Every structure is written in C-alpha cells, then in structure tokens.
Amino acid sequence: MPALSAVRVATLEDLDALTRLRQVWTDETGTHEDPSFPARFRAWFDQESARRTFWLVELDGTAVGTGNLVEYERMPRPAQPAGRWGYLGNLFVLADVRNRGHGSALLSAILRHADERHYERVVLHPTAASRPLYRRHGFGAADQLLLRRRPG
C-alpha cells in the first residue's frame, strides 16, 4: 500500500521540520556545516512569517517537502481595489520521494491558496529541473517583467 501523503500549512511548531528540509536542500549542492544555521533560520522565519505562508507535504506524518508563498499587496488606487500577487519560493521535495506526485500536490495546494486570495499572478524563479513541473501547472514565460541585477 502506498504511503499516505498530506499537504498542510506549516506553523511555528513545524520550524524544526522546515529547518531540516532547508538544510537537506542546501546539502544536495555540497556539505555546508553551519552550527548557527538553525538560529539564523528561526530569526528569518520569525521575520518572514507575517507575509509568507509555508506549506509542508508529509508522508505518514513525516515532512518530506516544503514550499512558501510571499504575498505582495499593491498600493491602492482611487476607486479600485489594491490587488495582490505572490512570489512562490523554495519548493523542495526530498530526493528519495521525488517524481511521485508530492511536489505536484504541494504546488497545487499553494496555487489553490493564491486563487482563493484572488492573486493577479504568481511568479517564481525555477531551476531548470523544475520547469516541467511548473509548466504542467500553468506557468509560462514572463514577458512583461523586467529585471535589474545588482552591479558588480
């Protein structure tokens, strides 16, 4: 029987799982010993949690993936609602459970949230490997945005 998976919004009680998943993600590109990382991640989480929603995907109660969505609210204009949009970041599923639909379930939950909040758009900066996943969920090239990189 396949393992049961569930996607849910993460809370402060999930900070250890979020920290662990971020560490594993970073370690996939090489070992990054950093004893200060849990404290720095906690400080970042505390700062970001007011405008960023975090999700977890779990298999049999164990967190195996995460993602988050930053909400931006536009400045209001006379006689028009402000409008919102989101930046999707840090979607990650552990390597040993990838390509089994967990990332898709996680992404679907995040996009449902964006739709329920009437976001005008959701943007992201995908890796080359993740582009097919995002395309399957309706993402396409952004031809109206401009980008300025920091000089130097």
Pair 21, 63: CB distance under 8 Å: yes
Q: What are phi and psi of 76, to 5 degrees?
A: -70, 155
**Position 145 in a domain:** no
pTM of the model: 0.88
Q: At what angle do helices 37-48 and 15-27 cross, to 10 degrees?
A: 120
Residues 44 and 38: their CA atoms lie apart, in Å, by 10
**Position 24 in a domain:** yes
pLDDT tens readout for residues 25-66: 888 777 778 899 999 999 999 999 999 999 999 999 999 999
**Position 11 in a domain:** yes
Count of domains observed in the chain: 1
Long-range contacts of 74-78 (CB under 8 A, 24+ apart): none
- Regarding predicted confidence, which is higher, 22 or 29? 22
Q: From the centroid of its chain, how far is CA 59?
A: 18
Residues in the chain: 152
Instruction: Assign 97 a pLDDT band (cuts: 50, 70, 90).
Output: very high
Q: Which domain holds residue 76?
A: 5-136
**Position 143 in a domain:** no
Tokens read off for 2: 């396949």
Residue 81 has pLDDT above 90, yes or no: no
Please provide the average confidence, as pLDDT, over all residues in the chain.
91
Task: Give the helix ranges, DSSP H, for 28-119.
Answer: 37-48, 102-116
- CATH number for the domain including 121? 3.40.630.30
Pair 92, 66: CB distance under 8 Å: yes
Instruction: Assign 1 a pLDDT band (cuts: 50, 70, 90).
Output: very low
Strand partners, 39: none
Q: Give the DSSP H/E element, type plus range, for residue 17.
A: helix 15-27
